[in-house]
Amino acid sequence: MSYTYMLRRVLASVPVLLGVTLLVFLMLHAIPGDPVYLVLGEHATPEAVAALRSTLGLDRPLAEQFLSFVSNAARGNLGRSMLTGRDISKEIAARFPLTLKIAIAAVCVEIVIGLGLGITAALNHGSIWDNAAMIGALIGVSTPSFWLALILMYIFAVRLDVVPISGYEGWTSLILPCITLGLLSGGRIARMTRSTLLEVLRQDYVRTARAKGLGERAVIYRHCLKNALIPVVTLIGMDFGSLLGGAIITETVFALPGIAQLAINGINRRDFPITQGVVLVMSLVFVCVNLVVDIVYSLLDPRIRYK
């Protein structure tokens, strides 16, 4: 992996981050209503409203407000909440580890289920195992996350009482959210793995390897799987970035105090600094995940070189 390429990718991500932040900034300010009245109440005096607007910097031009936010964010200062006055950087830092745990565990479940079903289906193409695996993957892709979450809560939390029903009470509270997200994403991984592996199995070099007497296990795992996993890695990277950004529905159903809940509260209350801070962090996460995916590409296929 070329360091020059990595540097170019990092520099190319700067306009993306600025564009996303600007878009969200403008959309938030376009929403009807005034956040100052959410803080002071509808019966606040004009003097109090003007004073708070000046304190929050909302009386300045939009361009000046945006440039001020970007300048502070570059120094690690995401500002303070309009409603609570808390430091947004600390708020995100406090909630992000929980979302990170959920994302890592969910991706592990997704990989195990997706690769297992996909490889099984591809190696038994046209058999009952292939059909069963693809039916399971289709169910996973088609099932709404909130419905699956409620079903799992009813079975394991209400009926069996083996895990907490909601809230965060330790690692046991993460079991159902991770299974929910892993099962849903695993269906997509299974379908992609089956499709790409079947395509690779039809290549000439695979027939040549078999003709030379190479064992089937070596053909699959040493020659086929690495090439077949390249598009799968892309899908896993996208899922991981989305989960780190916050699985909003899942965190809401299970009442988990992750970064998604912070974003929802900021949007509902029109707390501009919180929403902008969360969006900026989510954008950084996606950029970092994309860089990691590029590195994994070169590890899976040495023919890939970035000049």
Which residue ranges make up each domain of the chain? 97-300
Neighbours of 88 (CB within 10 A): 25
Are 98 and 262 in contact by the 8 Å Cβ rule? The answer is no
At the topology level, CATH places domain 97-300 in: MetI-like fold (1.10.3720)
For residue 23, give the 3-state DSSP assignment. Answer: helix
Are 121 and 190 in contact by the 8 Å Cβ rule? The answer is yes
Are 69 and 82 in contact by the 8 Å Cβ rule? The answer is no
Percent of the chain with pLDDT over 70: 93
Please state, in angstroms and rounded to a whole number, the distance separating the CA atoms of residues 85 and 160: 42
Cα distances (Å, whole numbers) of residue 248 to 102, 112, 118, 252, 257: 12, 23, 27, 6, 11
Each residue's pLDDT tens digit, 138-185: 888 888 888 888 888 888 888 888 888 877 877 888 888 888 888 888
Please state, in angstroms and rounded to a whole number, the distance separating the CA atoms of residues 168 and 254: 9
Please state, in angstroms and rounded to a whole number, the distance separating the CA atoms of residues 174 and 247: 13
pLDDT category at 305 given cuts 50, 70, 90 is low
> pTM of the entire structure?
0.78
Report CA torsion sign: 102, 106, 107, 112: positive
pLDDT category at 128 given cuts 50, 70, 90 is very high
Largest CA distance in the chain: 86
Name which of 128, 140, 223, 122 is nearest 181 in CA terms.
140
pLDDT category at 222 given cuts 50, 70, 90 is confident
